[in-house]
Amino acid sequence: MKSTEQPVTGAAFALDPQLAHDTLVIGDLPLSRVLLMNDANFPWLIIVPRRAGTAEVFDLTPADQMRLMAEIARVGELLKEVTGCDKINTAAIGNIVPQLHVHIIARSRSDAAWPRPAWGALPACPYDEAARECLLAVLRKKIPG
């Protein structure tokens, strides 16, 4: 781990177990781990700043806030390019999983939940293996692992 990646608390970053259970790892950006939600209803990424003990955006240092915004913009634009979606939905909610994580979801006017927000709208539908590996390969080519 590089010194710039040391969390302020000194504690080591560990991905929340619920996030680890629900997602597949795409790779790491300078600040955040990038995950794919295992839910074929929507192309749905989650980025998690690798900083222990962080629940709110304003818990990050100002420099990390800027890194997070750059990564939100980069991942959102990339997901729009890859999917050709109509809208990117971006959110840090965290009412259930307290570790700061940002949802970046590709939404289409033709998806089953449109225009409602994605959270809780549909039962999760895991990818079949071929679709999952194909999407992961495309995303890993664009996001350094």
Query: How far apart (Å, rounded) are the C-alpha atoms in residues 75 and 68?
Result: 10
Please, what is the minimum distance in Å from the beta carbon of residue 57 to its own copies? 5
- Partnered with residue 16 across adjacent β-strands are none
Cβ atoms 18, 97 nearer than 8 A: yes
Closer to its own copies by Cβ: residue 24 or 53: 53
Nearest Cα to 35, choosing from 80, 75, 7?
Answer: 75
- H or E element, residue 45: strand 44-49
Please, what is the minimum distance in Å from the beta carbon of residue 128 to its own copies? 27
Closer to its own copies by Cβ: residue 26 or 118: 118
Cβ atoms 79, 35 nearer than 8 A: no
Q: Does 141 bind its own copies (CB under 8 A)?
A: no
Select from 52, 65, 138, 142 the one that contacts its own copies (CB under 8 A). Answer: 65
Number of other CB atoms surrounding residue 93 within 10 Å: 11
Specify the 3-state DSSP secondary structure of 65.
helix
Query: How far apart (Å, rounded) are the C-alpha atoms in residues 49 and 60?
Result: 9
Please, what is the minimum distance in Å from the beta carbon of residue 53 to its own copies? 15
What does the per-residue mask of binding to its own copies show for 74-103, with x meaning CB under 8 A?
A: x-xx--x------xxxxxxxxxx-------
Closer to its own copies by Cβ: residue 35 or 68: 68
Please, what is the minimum distance in Å from the beta carbon of residue 92 to its own copies? 5
Using CB under 8 A, list all residues that contact its own copies. 55-58, 60, 62, 65-66, 68-70, 72-74, 76-77, 80, 87-96, 107, 114-117, 119-120
